[in-house]
Amino acid sequence: MRKLLKPFLTIAVLFALPLTLLAKDITLLNVSYDPTRELYEEFNKAFAVYWKAKTGDNVTIKQSHGGSGKQARSVIDGLEVDVVTLALAYDIDAIHDNGNLLPADWQKRFKSNSSPYTSTIVFLVRKDNPKGIKDWNDLIKPGVAVITPNPKTSGGARWNYLAAWAYALEHKQNPQEFVKALYKNVPVLDSGARGATTTFVERGIGDVFLSWENEAFLVLNELGKDKFEIVVPSLSILAEPPVAVVDKVVDKRGTRDVATAYLNYLYTVDGQRIAAQNYYRPRDKKALDAYGKFFVKTKLVTVDKTFGGWRKAQKTHFDDGGTFDQIYGK
Amino acid sequence: MNKYNVIGGFGISMGYTLLYLSLIVIIPLSTVLLSAMSMSWGDFLATVLDRRALLSYKVTILASLTAAFVNLIIGFIMAWVLTRYEFWGKSIINAAVDLPFALPTAVAGITLTALYAESGWIGSILAKFGIKVIFTQTGIALALIFITFPFVVRTVQPALEELESELEEAAASLGASRIQTLTKVIFPIIAPSLITGFALAFARGLGEYGSVIFISGNMPFKTEITPLLIITKLEQFNYAAANALALMTLLTAFTVLFLLGVLKKFIRREQ
């Protein structure tokens, strides 16, 4: 009986092995920040279809969302993450600095600064814009209440701060005085972007809300165009949420190829279309023209050119003792 | 120790207690200390004695004390009503007391903020009198009162239940006035539980984050609580500084709990 069983088993294994090799079940974990939930739900489905067609493998992508800095910390603390798609390059830099899970030059590994889609900071105002807010200089007028989260705890708030700073630079005003005047008009510093949205939208506090463009569109769609309007200032900042493969994890799990393909797929026509339909500005001109008609063109400065990159911007403005702390100092 | 108890086993139960306490409380907390120690002494002092940090202690401690005091008084009255009187709906009130424990604190914060905002039910009335609650220290205290409400009620209630009303009747029949009965008979007996409730409420208030950040407005130097400052340090990946501030919170809580514990022993000895 034993002798009969052995060849039988060998044959069974020989047959079963290539079958399992042919159709692998792969899971990836994408750790992202709060407002990208809808974007990646749609994108993950599209990628799974594409990958199945290309390789025959089934890929399931799990998503995790939260504050960008908090997400980076979970990665540093050992959450096994194949790819990160965060709000700021600084948060991915921290993954290099504190955990050495990916190389220092991670941002060069994908096209366009590793940011497949971009966004910007716009103003959300109440219907008919009762305070007549058109541009950044309207925000420092007395009697205007500005809602923006705390740049120390919110990635989005740092874009807001830098955009205001860039406007002052452009108009030859003292940027620190300008930003200080702006924060004088801030009645509450929420700890995160969603909290600030609640303060403005639900609580009815403030005249203008400095918001990610995609978040502003979501508010408009979900809470009604009869209540709010989007105002695009004459100058804003090019917010580049970056993506990266976490080398240490993909090498351990053997998922480097699929993880890299996943992020590259964001740059394809399909990926760019999904980004545009979720109100992120696609990098690709054609996709922008085809799907992004609702984006208002405005002058956009970059962190790299105006502020010398995220590391420098973080150190000058948001680290302890930086310009933001000085605003509230004596 | 063994000879005082008919059931033995002190050695093994004490060993178990120490092991469990170490694994669940002492080891996790000591990592806070270890991480804070990775800083130089000068850096540590600069972090914990920074003006912003000092003001945040002030806000946090003041609000926690206020909340604990308010709950001490209201909690005592509430416990008194629940133990001394029978009335319709008592069991409903009794159950409602613990609800703040069940609610996610962020929900409490958002709800209170909505109520007390100038557009909210209570806030709109208060606004007519020029009283502002949200985004002030009053708001922080309010959130902490809500969060720590069950502590005093629940620690005083059993003591009052054990205190038989015959004692009060005896005092009255011996000619004590109502105030005298209260101060000479009742308070000395329930004082230790009042102190415990107060201490728990205070310590819990020190560490509260979720509900406060919504109602406080988080304005630097004005309504910034220490836990927020700790999160701020974590956002900058500055683990050591975060743990240094956490250590200060722990030390404050431990000192208060310890001192009140000593006070309780003192009161018991007096009796």
pLDDT digits over A160-188, tens only?
A: 999 999 999 999 999 999 999 999 999 99
Is residue B173 less than 8 Å (CB to CB) from chain A? Answer: no
- B219 Cα to chain A: minimum distance (Å): 6
Q: Report residue A122's pLDDT band, with 50, 70 and 90 as the boundaries.
A: very high
Question: Same domain for A49 and A66?
Answer: yes
- Please state the three-class secondary structure of A106-119 as a single string: HHHCCHHHHCCEEE
Residue A203 is nearest to which of B113, B220, B236, comparing CB atoms?
A: B113
pLDDT of residue A192: 83
Report helix, strand or coil for A146. strand
A74 and A194, same domain (yes or no): no
Clarify whether residues A162 and A99 are in a common domain: no
Residue range(s) defining the domain that contains residue A315: 119-239+298-329
Interchain proximity A150–B218, CB inside 8 Å = yes
Return the SS3 of A276: helix
| A169 and A212 inside one domain | yes
**What's the pLDDT at A275?**
96
**Cα B267 from Cα B271, distance rounded (Å):** 7
Mean pLDDT (whole number) for A60-82: 91
Mark whether A87 and A174 lie in a shared domain. no
**pLDDT reported for residue A12:** 62
- With an 8 Å Cβ cutoff, are A188 and B235 in contact? no
Contact assessment for residue B78 and residue B159, using Cβ atoms and an 8 Å cutoff: no
CATH number at residue A92: 3.40.190.10
Q: How far is A189 from chain B (nearest CA, A)?
A: 5
Using CB atoms, pick whichever of A72, A191, A319 lies closest to residue B218: A191
Interval B61-104: pLDDT, tens: 999 999 999 999 999 999 999 998 999 999 999 999 999 999 99
Identify whether A206 is part of a domain: yes
Q: What value does the mean pLDDT take over residues A291-314?
A: 93
Contact across the interface for A153 and B228, Cβ inside 8 Å:
yes
Alpha-helical runs (H) found in chain A: 2-22, 37-55, 68-76, 89-99, 111-114, 155-170, 175-184, 193-201, 213-223, 247-253, 256-265, 269-277, 285-291, 303-307, 310-313, 323-328
Cβ-defined contacts of B18-24 (< 8 Å, 24+): none
Q: How many CB pairs lie under 8 A apart between chains A and B?
A: 60
Q: Is residue A72 part of a domain?
A: yes
Nearest to A190 among B117, B218, B220 (CB): B218
Other CB atoms within 10 Å distance of the CB of residue B125? 11
Structural domain tally of chain A? 2
> Do A85 and A145 lie in a common domain?
no
Residue A281 lies inside a defined structural domain of this protein:
no
Residues 125-164 of B with CB under 8 A from A: 135
How far B222 CA lies from chain A's nearest CA (Å)? 10
pLDDT at residue A5 tops 70: no
Distance from CA of B210 to the nearest CA of A (A): 11
Question: B52–A325: do the CB atoms touch at under 8 Å?
Answer: yes
Q: Give the one of B118, B119, B135 whose C-beta lies nearest to A188's C-beta.
A: B135
* pLDDT number for residue A126: 95
A140 and A181 Cβ atoms separated by less than 8 Å: yes
Same domain, A222 and A304: yes
Asked if residue A273 belongs to a domain, the reply is no
Binning pLDDT at 50, 70 and 90, where does residue A318 land? very high
Residues A151, A84 within the same domain = no
Same domain assignment for residues A106 and A126: no
Q: According to the model, what pLDDT value does residue A4 have?
A: 61
**A19 — pLDDT class (breaks 50, 70, 90):** low
Residue A154 near residue A193, CB atoms below 8 Å: yes
pLDDT tier at A92 (50, 70, 90 boundaries)? very high
The residue among A188, A91, A183 whose CA lies nearest residue B237 is A91
Confirm if A183 and A142 have CB atoms less than 8 A apart: no
Same-domain check for residues A219 and A85: no
Beta-bridged to residue A300, according to DSSP, are A236
**pLDDT (0 to 100) of residue A14:** 61
**pTM metric for this prediction:** 0.83
> What stretch(es) of chain B map to CATH 1.10.3720.10?
40-270
Helix (H, G, I), strand (E, B) or coil at A123: strand
Rounded to whole angstroms, how far apart are CA atoms A288 and A269?
10
Report the chain A residue with the minimal C-alpha distance to residue B117: A203
Interface residue B114 vs chain A (CB under 8 A): yes
Same domain for A189 and A42: no
> Domain B40-270 class?
mainly alpha
Query: Which of B237, B238, B239, B245 to mutate to probe the A interface, most A CBs <10 Å?
Result: B237
Instruction: Give domain status of residue A232, yes or no.
Output: yes
Decide if B218 and A188 are in contact by the 8 Å CB cutoff.
yes
How many Å apart are CA A235 and CA A273, to the nearest integer?
25
Q: Is the pLDDT of residue A230 over 60?
A: yes
pLDDT at residue A148 tops 70: yes
The pLDDT of residue A9? 64
Q: At CA B139, angle to CA B136 and CA B144, rounded to 5? A: 135
Please check whether residues A127 and A56 belong to one and the same domain.
no
Taking 50 as the pLDDT cut, the residues of chain B under it are 1
ipTM: 0.75
Q: Nearest to residue B143, comparing CAs of B67, B219, B194?
A: B67
Lowest average pLDDT, out of A12-21, A268-277, B139-148, goes to A12-21
Task: Tell me how far apart the alpha carbons of residues A300 and A235 are, in angstroms, rounded to a whole number.
Answer: 6
Closest to A200 in 3D by CA, of A137, A142, A135, A148: A148
The model's confidence at residue A159, banded by pLDDT at 50, 70 and 90, is very high
Mutation to test the B interface, candidates A184, A205, A310, most B Cβ within 10 Å:
A205
Q: Is A255 inside a domain boundary? A: yes
| Mean pLDDT confidence for A111-116 | 94
Q: How many helices (H) and strands (E) does chain B have?
A: 15, 0
- What is the predicted pLDDT for the residue at A17? 57
Q: How far apart, in Å, are the Cα atoms of B88 and each of B85, B91, B92, B154, B160?
A: 10, 8, 9, 20, 20
Report the pLDDT value the prediction gives residue B3, as an integer from 0 to 100.
Answer: 59
Residues of chain A with pLDDT > 90, as a percent, come to: 76
